[in-house]
Amino acid sequence: MILIDGKKIALEKRARIKEAVEKLSKEKGRAPGLATILVGENPASKIYVGSKIKACQEAGVKSFHNPLPADASQKEIISLIEKLNADEEVDGILLQLPLPNNQDAQECINAVSPFKDVDGLHPFNAGLLNLSKSWDEIVEKNILVSCTPMGVIHLLQKTNIQMEGKTAVVIGRSNLVGKPLSMLLLANNATVIMAHSKTKNLKEISKSADIVVAAIGKAKFLNGQYIKDGAAVIDVGINRVGEKIYGDVDFEDVKDMDIYITPSPGGVGPTTIAMLLDNTLKAFAK
């Protein structure tokens, strides 16, 4: 087993972002600004937002945190978003998901200016991604793409794991991870299979893949029976069980296999935050 060191790769990326922020800040006369919106007091969400605010400070990005009570209405959330859209000091807006009380977040996401949509969830940016013909086009157009999928691609690239001509199975079809990641893998010339909870013969399909991305949200769901020797396994899962965090892959069951694998935590998570900073920088540069 070879560990893909997400922490190290993310720190290297963040160091380059910090240099770019310093250079652009001098040119523009101000630092990039990222506004975070946290609705309610979800403990996990508070930790995530806190880590994003800290990352901003370390990179020289100005942070604007906007807490709202758990009973905030959709109208109140959208009103805040519209205010931030008009704020010239704010280059990126991040609405922390999920929203409390099972609120539908899509209308709130649609209210974010697509030019400040650092989560890459606005239909405008999702459409640009789907219409892109290649990875070079995505890079050249500075398309704002969901941070976790971009982090996964960055991990594969920095670990020199070839995507072109390889079979990649993405387990999970969310708008945040599965769908955009499939588009990014296609742009890198992989042959992509999207699997999900209704997929039949999942073990056989997954075991045929050169790259396996687990984003299903079930602790230790994938074991060695789903993975072939020589594969690269990207574990996107962050599942809290009691006081511990587990990925979607049963790490203990696969640790003796001849594979590349990201740990969870410490694999995809750090690069997600790095890509958030990168998206904020892209929005600022635009």
* Whether residue 103 lies in the annotated active site: no
Which of 5, 96, 103, 250 is catalytic? The answer is 96
Choice among 5, 13, 52, 62 that is catalytic: 52
Q: Which of 5, 91, 117, 119 is catalytic?
A: 119
Q: Is 119 an active-site residue?
A: yes
- The verdict on whether 106 is a catalytic residue reads no
DSSP the chain: -EE--HHHHHHHHHHHHHHHHHHHHHHHTS--EEEEEEES--HHHHHHHHHHHHHHHHHT-EEEEEEE-TT--HHHHHHHHHHHHH-TT--EEEE-SSPGGG---HHHHHHS-TTSBTTS-SHHHHHHHHH--SHHHHHHTT----HHHHHHHHHHHHTT---TT-EEEEE---TTTHHHHHHHHHHTT-EEEEE-TT-TTHHHHHHT-SEEEE-S--TT-B-GGG--TT-EEEE---EEETTEEE-SB-HHHHTTSS-EE--SSSSHHHHHHHHHHHHHHHHHH-
**Which residues are known catalytic residues?**
52, 96, 119
